[in-house]
Amino acid sequence: MTQRPTALLIDFDGVLRAFDPSINAKIEQRYGLEPGTVLDTALQWDRLLPAITGRMTRADWLATVAATLADRVGGPERAAELMDEWVVYPGTVDPDVLQFVRDVRAAGHPVCVATNSTVEFREVLESFDLATEFDAVAISAEIGVHKPAKEYFQAACALIGTPPARCMLVDDTDRMIRGARAAGLTAYRYMPGDDLSYPRRAFGL
């Protein structure tokens, strides 16, 4: 029988933070690129992996994106200008998801942000005034292992002093959900606009 979760791991991008793709799409189109090109380039695995496991800073990671796109946008200077514009839009925090986090904590359950991100991620939390909203932050670049590796989830659960069997992950990516379950956690796949009624019930909210 599955145990009721007593701690929450929650993804950041795609769950707590949302992006309107049309904003950066307009920038890309001005540089002659198809919408989504910069993000697709940034997320290429051989480029992303060093960034999210602490072997490359965010600035260095984005510099590799600029270098890759330089020939397509008119040279290195033009590519640097593109990236300077592209990184301005920070996305928005979903107030309903943030309220869920607050409700879970108010009920006495620890909450950990579980994110594949660069070493600068805490600055992102600060920029949204979210630094005090969580009991722990599991950043892949600090841990040195990325989601959905079992070692990542073990480290994240340890940060909030809770065994995997009593932790629930809320994430928007199926691969992460499957990885969490393989590591012994319960997991719930979030979809945009989700009212989170299932995880709320799981925590007795």
Print pLDDT tens along the chain (205 aa).
Answer: 467 899 999 999 999 999 888 888 998 898 889 998 988 898 899 888 998 898 988 889 989 999 999 889 888 888 888 888 888 888 899 999 999 999 999 999 999 999 999 989 999 999 999 999 999 999 999 999 999 999 999 999 999 999 999 999 999 999 999 999 999 999 999 998 899 999 999 999 9
**What are 66's two structure tokens?**
């600029």
If you ran DSSP here, which 8-state letter would residue 80 be given?
Answer: H
Least Cα distance to 82 among 65, 59, 101, 94 occurs for 65
Nearest to 169 by CA among 138, 123, 193: 138
What are the tokens at 125?
A: 């939390």
The neighbouring-strand residues paired with 92 are 18
Can you tell me whether residue 116 is helix, strand or coil?
A: coil
DSSP category for residue 18: E
Distance CA 145, CA 79 (A): 30
Element (H, E) at 169: strand 167-171
Structure tokens at 174: 């199926």
Model pTM score: 0.88
